[in-house]
Chains A and B, each alone.
With several copies, the nearest count.
Chain A
């Protein structure tokens, strides 16, 4: 049977409205300017100075910036307005992330705002919300995450930490690991097994634990770059009031899943990578062999161009998802792609920086020079190698890139 095609199957003419377009609205651009002005005017000068001098960023530095943002009312943009959210559009949230990146601010630590906060406002009781949310919004309490356990890795549900009910308390025993900045934490949110007989994901509860409770020990894990960023947390007969459990007993996995799905925005770190690319260009322009700057070496340039192109591809893929979100489509597991490609690009940028500084990459100067001893011959080389080493974590933590590809294979391709 032949279908009869008629010209009327096509519109007679195309409307010029609602056409696909790259430009942002004036309103959006005004918002961006406002954000830019706010950051320029309120970023704590002493934090900026520590960054510029290459000094370690302390707990109070992170909090100072969080508190400045909170005073402006922007510390939890993605939250429901009733709990302090801004009601921003996805585009506004994107601009906020981008401006923070372009201004090279210290991050607003997301354990409270991005992770436990949403769990509390989604699953918590009115009392729990009233007790915990305001401090998270204000940035007066530092939260940490007690999820991973030694030997569990990406297989989160195989956790061994036990919480045994004794009256109105749980007695918690176990060990957590990879707890980022846990040494700064006032409170932590933990997954613990409350029903040892249940199947893997069942029988887990979500507990909030005061890190000053007796029996809580935080031990540093030094990473290969010499930094203290992650920790082990030991829990020995830690007594946790039952009212600090979020959601029903044995329903912790529901909280955990919700949390993992949250706050994917900015995961590709495009803006941070753009800043890194600009710095890399600068670095390469300052390095020369036989008088020719590395930035003019065709082999090096071609690698930079490859990264530039891939970064654009990632940026516009993220923007497409953002536009879809704006149009009401909640992003799905496709965001795993942003994580995979984003970390691959960050790591390629680190590799090129390492190539740019050449043999000088070997120098670990900052940590070993007496203060005021002056700079080495190539100041730009300082930290390049340690950054390269440190950033290897990005393809491992938060669900390794192999796990992300497994997820994509299953969820997107139906394999």
Chain B
């Protein structure tokens, strides 16, 4: 057993941390997310060209650094710490995970484009009545002589307005909830038959509802048996999301400790209040344990499916609850200042809140855990 990072991983973390400190300060980030477009393409280019970090999790033969889940963890934690909205999770982790599993010349071609920063993905999966059920897919994929076309509606697609391509789940066969018959496709964001309704998300990103009307799509891997790969890749994304949450929570805790030490009331720093001290200790204990659960989930990704799912769901249950507690406590301890748009703390709180439900709430994952045998 070993939970230490390799020197290369530490280097990766340091590089990213310094890069974001230099290029992605909170004020720059705010200016960017409030702009008309809501994002700046330069960051993504920089991640590819200046840092070369987009290949962190891919094999060297496709231009990557040869890393894996732990490298994703490192990147996602820094993304959380700097409140970065760029779609590393959707592109490199989720999309990359599907492409790695496909493992064909065409897949390697796509991976090369990811590593080079040419493509950005958004995950078009959620359908209005699905809630968190990954198997609920009604969008139809139809095979035509020259490829596939999709018809259906996906909503709340995070990052869709910035994406070059959408990763779309669609049904090739079977009924609405069947495990069999779900495949994942890539659709160019500017494809004919794709209509996007854009809007902002409360945590500073943009999203959209996407309607497909005979939109041309490229099938990733198998048409009818894509669900296992999807489930595994989504679990990898959940582990990445937990790492992002860890970055967000570390910052919430650090800011709160700092603020309460500086802020004086009744002639003493408010950190002198024992009740506030214990609240911060409770935040600290949740953060530390969230770190442990994120390691557990990340290192379990390569284990057999039931073990992987159990570890990932347990981590999501813990992290979702921790994100709520830490976020709420940070705002409460900042008092009125925590309520303002001006301080970073409220934005980290909002991101923490959205992470709670992304890819399934605590209750959803508790139920998934219950559906798996306790000793699997």
Contact = CB atoms under 8 A, between A and B. Distances in A.
A18 B202 contact: no
Contact of B292 (A20, A226, A300, A320): A320
B268 to A, nearest CB: 10
Given A305-B370, A362-B203, A319 B22 contact: no
B299 interface: yes
B6 A378 contact: no
For chain A, give the interface size range: 35 or more
B41 interface: no
A23 to B, nearest CB: 7
Nearest to A319: B1
Contacts of B285: 337, 340-341, 408
A397 B363 contact: no
A358 B361 contact: yes
B339 A363 contact: no
Interface in B250-292: 257, 260-261, 263-266, 270-271, 273-278, 280-282, 284-285, 288-292
A152 interface: yes
Nearest to B336: A178
Contact of A7 (B50, B282, B295): B50
Interface stretch (A69-77, A106-114, A168-176, A364-372): A364-372
Contacts of B342: 221-222
Given A302-B366, A365-B199, A154 B132 contact: no
A262 to B, nearest CB: 22
Contacts, number: 314
A190 interface: no
B202 A386 contact: yes
B340 A5 contact: no
Interface residues of B, number: 111
A14 B6 contact: yes
B8 A359 contact: no
B2 A323 contact: yes
B264 to A, nearest CB: 8
Contacts of A12: 60, 65
Interface in A270-295: 281, 287-290, 294
Contacts of A126: none
A324 interface: yes
Interface in A162-204: 177-178
Given A10-B53, A224-B349, A289-B133, A317 B1 contact: no
Contact of B361 (A6, A355, A365): A355
Given A13-B60, A378-B128, A415-B277, A223 B341 contact: yes
Contacts of B354: 361-362, 385
B370 A312 contact: no
Contacts of A36: none
B147 interface: no
Contact of A415 (B5, B53, B133, B280): B280
A385 B288 CA distance: 27
A202 B367 CA distance: 56
B332 A363 contact: no
A235 interface: no
A327 to B, nearest CB: 6
Given A155-B266, A289-B133, A355-B363, A20 B336 contact: no
B305 interface: no
A412 B340 contact: no
Interface in B331-365: 331-332, 335-336, 338-342, 346-347, 349-350, 353-354, 356-358, 361, 363
Given A14-B71, A309-B318, A154 B265 contact: yes
A408 B281 contact: yes
B207 A289 contact: no
A396 B332 CA distance: 6
A15 to B, nearest CB: 7
Given A152-B265, A226-B341, A364-B200, A20 B70 contact: yes
Nearest to B204: A364
Contact of B1 (A16, A21, A221, A297): A21
4 nearest A-B residue pairs (beta carbon): A224-B346, A5-B50, A316-B292, A409-B277
20 contacts: A10-B15, A11-B11, A14-B9, A14-B65, A15-B6, A18-B4, A20-B298, A22-B299, A153-B335, A221-B341, A224-B346, A289-B131, A309-B317, A317-B291, A323-B1, A354-B353, A360-B156, A363-B207, A389-B350, A393-B336
Interface of A: 2-3, 5-7, 9-16, 18-24, 91, 148, 151-155, 158, 177-178, 221-226, 281, 287-290, 294, 297, 299-302, 305-306, 308-310, 312-314, 316-317, 319-320, 322-324, 327, 334, 337, 340-341, 351, 354-355, 358-365, 367-369, 373, 376-378, 385-386, 388-389, 392-393, 395-397, 400, 402, 405-406, 408-409, 412-415
